[in-house]
Amino acid sequence: MLKISRQNLRTPGPTPVPDDIVEAMSNPMIDHRGPEFLELISESTERLKQVFMTRNDLFILTASGTGALEAAVVNTLSPGDKVLSVTAGSFGDRFIDLAQAYGADVQRLAFEWGEPVDPDAVRKALHADPAIKAVLVTHNETSTGVTHPLEQIAAVVKGEFNKLLLVDAVSSLACIPLPVDGWDCDVVATASQKGFMVPPGLSFISMSQTAWQAQKSSTMPRFYFDLAAAQSYLERGQTPFTPNVAAMYGLWKALINLLDEGMESVYERHARIGQFTRDGVKNLGLELLVKDETYASDTVTAVKIPDGVDGSKLRQLAHNEENVVLAGGQGKLSGHIFRIGHLGHVSQQDIEEVLAALKRILSKLGFSAR
Ligand SMILES: *Cc1c(COP(=O)(O)O)cnc(C)c1O
């Protein structure tokens, strides 16, 4: 029998799952075309809309976050459509790869990894090419620990140019404020295994009226992620294909917990733990990747690996000797940073344990932590 004991799991997804959510997930299996499922999906969809702060249509998909991002692209765009894709990290790059895989004509607007997206540059790019139809943006770049100024970006994209806005909010929604209607975001995608504290396997996507209009003329191939099908099934309290019912039980409980706590309190809690993590890391004498802390993410912190320290050794010792699971760097940051996730189910004590462990490990590796 596989037996995994509790870890201080500080990857920025999957995140630890609280006991009451695990318990909810152990409910008996049901018919996904029966009355209990209708209740489950109807209530969860309504509550998700509250967390998204939207009155737009919203769908629960059985897929990881990338599935919802794929749904965003294939339901609104056509091959050859010009899109502006803004990136400052590996998730921004992945959004580009996805759009290109389906034949979008992507104009790439790239920033240094660790820097925020500059809304002025978005304005210039949209000004320079009126043929651009949509803008793709990552709200919180998980690979660098940077939260991009989405409100200002949306003000440009929607307020000044009225383009379609597709948002990757996988590591921000339910942790960092993102009023979908307030900022006029057309399509917003996120996933269960980050701020929602549910195991991997579900993703969520909202579609504005403008997005539905784009959907009508969109010709990208789609089948599993056809949101028109999802909509017609949802009217009957169902999904087109067999959903991840167990994860949906967990989601049902998670949404009750989030809304009972109140989203304002959830956001404040993330802001506090983010600040606590950054302060603790700096107190050890370590440096953050993000240069301007105004843009530091409250869900994940990227830390530079000091000169002379072997990053993979550091994470290995953390795992084996301290039971602390850290994330490494992705893409070109591999070997240069490690990351501490602090989203979803996380306490100050969890972070205190991480900091104490880092202090011991760093001294073993020859870096004298303060
Ligand atoms: C985790 C994450 C994703 C999606 O990853 P999946 O593995 O498909 O769930 C996408 N974007 C961001 C910003 C993420 O943090």
Any atom of ligand 1 within 6 Å of the Cβ of 147: no
The confidence score (pLDDT) of residue 293 equals: 98
CB neighbour list of residue 9: distance below 8 Å, 6 or more residues apart: 15, 16, 325, 341
Query: At which of 259, 294, 327 does a domain end?
Result: 259
Taking the centre of ligand 1 as the mean of its atom positions, its distance from the CA of residue 71, in whole angstroms, is 14
The confidence score (pLDDT) of residue 368 equals: 80
* Atom number of ligand 1 nearest to Cα 193: 9
**In the structure, what pLDDT confidence band is assigned to residue 272 with cuts at 50, 70 and 90?**
very high
CA-nearest of 356, 363, 44, 348 to 204 is 44
On whether both 135 and 226 belong to a single domain, the answer is yes
Query: At which of 198, 226, 259 does a domain end?
Result: 259
Mark out the alpha helices in 26-64 (DSSP H runs).
Answer: 35-52
Any atom of ligand 1 within 6 Å of the Cβ of 90: no
The confidence score (pLDDT) of residue 1 equals: 82
What percent of the chain has a predicted confidence (pLDDT) above 90? 98
| Atom 2 of ligand 1, nearest CA residue | 170
Q: Is the pLDDT of residue 63 over 90?
A: yes
Q: Is the pLDDT of residue 278 over 80?
A: yes
Any atom of ligand 1 within 6 Å of the Cβ of 125: no
**What is d(CA 108, CA 64) in angstroms, rounded to the nearest whole number?**
25
Tens-digit pLDDT profile for residues 346-362? 999 999 999 999 999 99
User: The CATH number of the domain where 289 resides is what?
Assistant: 3.90.1150.10
The confidence score (pLDDT) of residue 353 equals: 98
The DSSP line for 304-368 is EPPTT--HHHHHHHHHHHH-EE-EE--GGGTTTEEEEE--SS--HHHHHHHHHHHHHHHHHTT--
Residue 358 in any domain: the answer is yes
User: The CATH number of the domain where 77 resides is what?
Assistant: 3.40.640.10
Model-wide pTM > 0.75: yes
Residue 369 in any domain: the answer is no
Any atom of ligand 1 within 6 Å of the Cβ of 172: no
Any atom of ligand 1 within 6 Å of the Cβ of 239: no
Range(s) of the domain holding residue 170: 19-259
Q: Is the pLDDT of residue 370 over 80?
A: no
Q: ∠ CA 135-96-162 to the nearest 5 degrees?
A: 5
Residue 55 in any domain: the answer is yes
Taking the centre of ligand 1 as the mean of its atom positions, its distance from the CA of residue 14, in whole angstroms, is 10
Residue 25 in any domain: the answer is yes
CB neighbour list of residue 184: distance below 8 Å, 6 or more residues apart: 154, 158, 159, 165, 208
- Name residue, tokens 């920033």: 111
| Atom 5 of ligand 1, nearest CA residue | 65
Query: At which of 203, 230, 259 does a domain end?
Result: 259
* Atom number of ligand 1 nearest to Cα 200: 9
Mark out the alpha helices in 238-305 (DSSP H runs).
Answer: 245-261, 263-283
* Atom number of ligand 1 nearest to Cα 12: 15
CA-nearest of 105, 137, 103 to 121 is 137
Taking the centre of ligand 1 as the mean of its atom positions, its distance from the CA of residue 180, in whole angstroms, is 19
| Atom 12 of ligand 1, nearest CA residue | 170
Q: Phi and psi of 101, rounded to 5°?
A: -60, -30
Any atom of ligand 1 within 6 Å of the Cβ of 13: yes
On whether both 119 and 248 belong to a single domain, the answer is yes
Q: What is the mean pLDDT of residues 61-89?
A: 98
On whether both 132 and 227 belong to a single domain, the answer is yes
* Atom number of ligand 1 nearest to Cα 191: 9
Beta bridge partners of 173: none
Please check whether residue 149 is in contact with residue 184, taking contact to mean a CB–CB distance below 8 angstroms: no
* Atom number of ligand 1 nearest to Cα 169: 13
As given in the structure block, the two tokens for residue 34 are 């029966």
Please check whether residue 133 is in contact with residue 82, taking contact to mean a CB–CB distance below 8 angstroms: yes
Overall number of domains in the chain: 2
Q: Is the pLDDT of residue 93 over 80?
A: yes
Any atom of ligand 1 within 6 Å of the Cβ of 170: yes
On whether both 195 and 274 belong to a single domain, the answer is no
On whether both 55 and 178 belong to a single domain, the answer is yes
Give 2-20 as a 3 state SS string.
Answer: CCCCCCEECCCCCCCCCHH
CB neighbour list of residue 198: distance below 8 Å, 6 or more residues apart: 17, 21, 192, 247, 250, 251, 254
Residue 187 in any domain: the answer is yes
Residue 1 in any domain: the answer is no
Residue 370 in any domain: the answer is no
As given in the structure block, the two tokens for residue 146 are 């940077």
| Atom 9 of ligand 1, nearest CA residue | 65
On whether both 223 and 305 belong to a single domain, the answer is no
Residue 88 in any domain: the answer is yes
Taking the centre of ligand 1 as the mean of its atom positions, its distance from the CA of residue 16, in whole angstroms, is 16
The confidence score (pLDDT) of residue 367 equals: 87
